[in-house]
Structure 1
Amino acid sequence: RKNIEYIQGNFDVSLGRTSNKRKLTWMAIAEKVNGVSNVKRDANDISKKFKLLKNDAKKNAARQRNHMNGTGGGPVKDEKLSELDEQMMYFVPDCFAYGFKGDNDLESNYEETPVQTLSSSQD
């Protein structure tokens, strides 16, 4: 849990950094993780594990959304995200996990706007 909080505190900053700065950030995170773990991991291992956890959280959030939006006459499954998944969702933009608002009925939200042609604008 402390490691995820540490990553949250450093991750946003590392996104805009150069490749070297990102490597240094992951090395610092690996050092923190190794300080509380019996198994020693390098920065690449930590980064890969982080990506796997983030992808798992996205899948679980999408599954939760699909269950909530499900139809078919049966009861809706009450599927909650784990605490880890909820923490990992901090790093995932909502649109990647839950889709865009109104994405299932784009046509009903479509507004027509008149198009002004070049010839009519010069008259």
Structure 2
Amino acid sequence: MKMLKNNKKVRSSNFSREEEMNLIQEIEKFKHILECKITNKVTNAEKEEAWRKVLSSFNSRNLQVRSISQIKSKFDNLKTKAKKEMAKQKSYMRGTGGGPAIKIELDHVTEATLNVINMKTVVGLNNSLDSDFINVKVEYYKKKKELLEKRVEAEEKERSRRREREEEEHLKKMILLDLEIKLKEKQLK
């Protein structure tokens, strides 16, 4: 939002349906980062970088230039709308009065938003803990384990190369010593 001389904010234009769809498509590419529940220094830095990439790509596809705060706010609003629609549908499914359940038709932006957000936050978990924190932690530790395994593998390769170089050096020294011994034996004879 821009400021005028008398400190009044100027409203930016509303997001069009096409802009909303473009935003969701860009966020979909980074949903594993942006929808991660873990918040620490590393994941927060990853999220900020992901938002910058989303913004850059989003602005390159649209005429209206938006800020990070605008797209974050819009995404939050889209998530809220999608969750409300799912809650309404769930309410209708549990309703009484006979007859078939009322099926709410979702627009394509809401459906795309539901595909991006973690469905467990919308419909709930089927386990006794009723939290996706454990699943997020498992994913976090899987990635951490994978990175550690790659580091160990790289260090092992480096040790192996170093060992090979040392063995070559040792072999060369042994050959030189053997030649020196033969030379000394010839000189003594």
Deviation string 1:64-89 (CA, Å, 9 cap, x unpaired) is 11112211246532312221111111
Unmatched 5+ stretches in structure 1: 104-123
Match of 1:77 in 2: 102
Task: Give the TM-score normalised by structure 2.
Answer: 0.47
Secondary structure in 1 aligned to 2:30? helix
Secondary structure in 2 aligned to 1:7? helix
Distance 2:56 2:85 in 1: 29
Which runs of 4 or more aligned residues in structure 1 lie more than 6 Å from their structure 2 counterparts after TM superposition? none
1:60 and 2:80 correspond: no
Distance 2:54 2:127 in 1: 38
Q: Which amino acid aligns with 1:8?
A: E
Q: CA RMSD in A?
A: 2.5
% identity of equivalent residues = 25
Aligned residues: 103
Q: Which amino acid aligns with 1:77?
A: I
Distance 1:34 1:5 in 2: 13
Task: Give the TM-score normalised by structure 1.
Answer: 0.67
Match of 1:18 in 2: 43
Contact 1:54 1:91 (C-alpha < 8 Å) held by counterparts: no
Among 15, 22, 27, the alignment partner of 1:7 is 27
Distance 1:10 1:93 in 2: 13
Match of 1:86 in 2: 111
Q: Aligned-pair distance for 1:21? A: 2.5
Secondary structure in 2 aligned to 1:18? helix
Contact 1:64 1:80 (C-alpha < 8 Å) held by counterparts: no
Unmatched 5+ stretches in structure 2: 1-20, 129-189
Secondary structure in 2 aligned to 1:24? helix
Q: Which amino acid aligns with 2:63?
A: N
Q: Specify the structure having the higher radius of gyration (Cα).
A: 2
Distance 1:74 1:39 in 2: 47
Match of 1:49 in 2: 74
Indicate the larger mover: 20-29 or 48-57: 20-29
Q: Which amino acid aligns with 1:88?
A: T
- Return the structure number with greater helix share: 2
